[in-house]
Chains A and B, each alone.
Chain A
Amino acid sequence: MDIVVCVKRVPETAEADIVIDETGKDIDTRGLVFDINEWDNYAVEEAVLLKEKYGGSVTVVSMGPQESNETLRRALAMGADEAIRLTDPAFSGSDGYAIARILGEAIRPLAYDLILTGVQAEDDGYGQVGPTLAEMLGIGHAAVVNMIERIDGGRARIHRELEGGLEEVLDLELPAVLTIQSGINEPRYVSIMGIRRVAKKEIRVLGLADLALKEDETGEQGSKSVVERVFLPPAGEGAQMLEGSVESLAESVVSILKEKGGLA
C-alpha cells in the first residue's frame, strides 16, 4: 500500500483577530500561529495507521512556501516516509482547481494505491481539491470519509459521513482519492523531539519546470475562479451584548433563563 497524503499549512484563526491585507484580497497573516490543517492531520494519521496495518509507504505532499516544511516535518515525525514541497512564484493565486492540478502533476509519476486529503482546508474551505484531483488523475474518489473498514483485492470498504448521523458504506476500486473527515482516528501526539529526529530528512522541492505544467496552467491564470475582494461579514441582526462584571453577567443570564427558559 503506497499512500500519498496532501497536507497544507494554515493559520489558526478561530481565536485570532482577522485583518484584511493591503491587496484587499486576503488576510494579513503576520502574527498568526500556523499549524497543519486540522483535517489533514487526521489524513496523515490514517495513512500511517494503514501503513502499519498493510505495509507500504507514506509520502506527504504540500504546496506552499518554505515554512510548509514545518508541516511536512510534522508529518514525517508522525511516520510518513517521504516529503515533497511544491513551490513556484507561478503557483500563487491558485484556486482549488489549480491547486489540484499542481498536486496532481506532482503525484502522477509516484506509485500510489491511495491518495488522502483532508475534507477541506480551515482557511479557504474549498472542500474541492480531493475530488478534483481524482478526476484529473482519472481515478475514483469518495469525500467525507470517516472510516476505512478494510482494503483487499484492490478495493476498499469505506464509510462516508452523511448528515444527521447517517453513514453510507461504499466499496471502491483502488487507486482512489479519499477526503478524510475529522474524528476518523486519534492523531498521535508529535513531540519536539520527534520533529528533531526527522530534521535531517530530505524534503524534495519541486517547481513549475519539474512538473510538466505550463505557466498558464497554474496560479491565477490556471484558475477557474478569481478572488475579487474579501470583506468582513455584515454584522447582521447581531446579539444583544451583555456587559459588566462577571457577577452582573451571571445575574443577567439568570434573568434571561427565568424569562425565556421558564425556570422559576
Chain B
Amino acid sequence: MEDIFVLAEHRQGELRDITFEMLTKGKAMAEETGTSLAAVLLGHGVGKMAEQLKDKANRVILVEDPRLETYNSEAYERVLAELLEGENPRLLLIGHTAFGMDLAPSLATRIRVPIATDCIDVTIRDGEVRATRQVYGGKLNVEVRLKPAPQSVITIRPASFTVEEYSLTGEIVTVASPMEEEIVSKRFVEYVEAAAGEVDITQANILVSVGRGIKDQDNIPMVKELADALGAALSCSRPVVDKKWLPKERQVGTSGKTVKPKVYIAIGISGAFQHVAGMKGSGTIIAINKDPKAPIFSVAHYGIVGDLFKIVPALKEKVKEVFA
C-alpha cells in the first residue's frame, strides 16, 4: 500500500491544529496520487481523539500504551519504526513543531529513510518526493528533491496549509503496541506553564511590537512612548526577550503569545514564521522595516520601508498631536 501517513500531534488531551493542517494536505496528495490517507495516533486513553480524526482520514491507526501517555521520543520512535516497517507508507508527514523537531530527524535516521524538515509545501511527482523549504529567515525558498526511497519523512511548518472541511469514511484500526520493556533512558517529569506576567498582551486592542531592529535596550523607551501615546500595549519578537530587554510575557509567536489586536504595528521585525504565527490574525498589520525584502511585508497590510529611528519619533509626535 502506498499510503500517505500523517502523524497526529496532541498534547494534554488535545489534538493540535497542525494535525488537521497536515491531514488537509495529505487528503489532497492522496487524491492526486490515487492512494489513501491514514492518521497515526499514538497515546494512552486517546479514543476520543481517534473519533475526532475518524472522518479526516481513510484510516486512523491507533496505538495505545501507557508509555505513550506523554511524548517520549524513544517510545515514539520504537513504535513508529515498527509500524512503518509493517505498513510501508510512501510518505509520513510530521509537524515542524517542538514535537516534530525532536522526533522526526532521529526517526528518519533510525528507519534509514530520507527526510526534509521545515517544509512549506510537498508534492510527489514522477514517483519522487519534492518539497519547498524556506531558508535565511524566510527570505529565500528552496526546492529540494528527496533521493529515491520506498518511504520518506517530511516535517511541515505550522500554518502552511489552511484546514478545509471534508468528510471521509474512516475506520479506526487498533494496532497493539510493540513495546515490551520500560523506557529508562528518557523520562517525562512534568509540564511547566509560563508564569503569568503583569501585562496580558492578548487583551490589547492595539499592539506596538518591537524586534531586533531596535538594536539596543536604551532604544526601547522610544517605542514604549509611542505605545503609551496610542494607549497601546508594547509587545516584541523573541530576540528582544532573549536579550532580557522586555519580559517573556510580551513575546509574540509560537513560543510566546498568539495575539489578535485590531492593529499590530511591527517595528524592526523581520517576519520569521515563528513570529508571524503569533500575529497574523491581527485585524490590520502595519510593518516598519528598512529592508524592502523583509518577509514581514508579505503578511502586513501596510508597509513602510525606512529607518525606524526616524519614523517612530515622527509618528509619536503626530499621534500626540492628533490624539492628545
Residues of A within 8 A of B (CB): 13-18, 20, 27, 95-97, 100, 119-120, 122-132, 134-136, 140-144, 157, 159-173, 179, 182-183, 186, 223-233, 235-242, 246-247, 249-254, 256-257, 260-264
Contacts and interface: CB of A to CB of B under 8 A. Distances in A.
Contact of B295 (A95, A140, A233): A233
25 contacts: A14-B270, A15-B290, A18-B139, A95-B144, A128-B115, A132-B109, A140-B74, A144-B101, A164-B256, A164-B257, A166-B11, A170-B189, A225-B114, A225-B131, A226-B147, A228-B130, A230-B140, A230-B141, A231-B143, A239-B298, A242-B302, A249-B306, A250-B314, A253-B315, A257-B263
A254 B98 contact: no
A201 B230 CA distance: 55
A172 B102 CA distance: 14
B97 interface: yes
Contact of A249 (B11, B110, B238, B304): B304
Interface of B: 11, 70-71, 73-74, 96-99, 101-106, 108-110, 113-118, 130-131, 133-147, 149, 184-194, 205-206, 212-213, 230-231, 238-239, 241-244, 248, 254-258, 262-263, 265, 270, 283-287, 290-291, 293, 295, 297-298, 300-306, 310-311, 314-315, 317-319, 322-323
Given A224-B114, A226-B144, A239-B298, A165 B256 contact: yes
A241 B293 CA distance: 12
B192 A17 contact: no
Contacts of B305: 241
Contact of B102 (A27, A143, A239, A251): A143
Contacts of B319: 250, 254, 257
Contact of A134 (B106, B255, B286): B106
Contact of B255 (A100, A123, A163): A163
Given A132-B106, A257-B319, 15 more contacts: A125-B137, A132-B105, A162-B255, A163-B255, A165-B257, A169-B189, A172-B185, A173-B185, A225-B114, A228-B145, A232-B141, A239-B300, A242-B304, A254-B322, A263-B230
A260 B262 CA distance: 7
A250 B108 CA distance: 52
A126 B315 CA distance: 39
A131 B140 contact: no
A96 B119 CA distance: 14
Contacts of A15: 213, 290-291
A32 to B, nearest CB: 10
A235 B71 CA distance: 38
Given A124-B135, A131-B102, A166 B192 contact: yes
Contacts of A171: 186-187, 189
A226 B73 contact: no
Contacts of A132: 105-106, 108-109
Contacts of A179: 101
A82 B228 CA distance: 50
Contacts of A186: 243-244
Given A122-B136, A131-B102, A170 B74 contact: no
Contacts of A162: 11, 98-99, 191, 255
A152 B140 CA distance: 44
Q: Across chains A and B, which 3 residue pairs bring their CB atoms closest together, nearest first?
A: A165-B194, A239-B303, A224-B114
A182 B237 CA distance: 12
Nearest to B187: A171
Nearest to A253: B315
Contacts of B257: 164-165
Chain A CB within 10 Å — which of B74, B136, B230, B258 has the most? B136
A179 B102 CA distance: 9
Given A168-B188, A226-B147, A262 B286 contact: no
B147 to A, nearest CB: 5
B262 A261 contact: yes
B311 A249 contact: yes
A242 B303 contact: yes
Given A161-B98, A162-B11, A256 B286 contact: yes
A169 B303 contact: no
Nearest to B305: A241
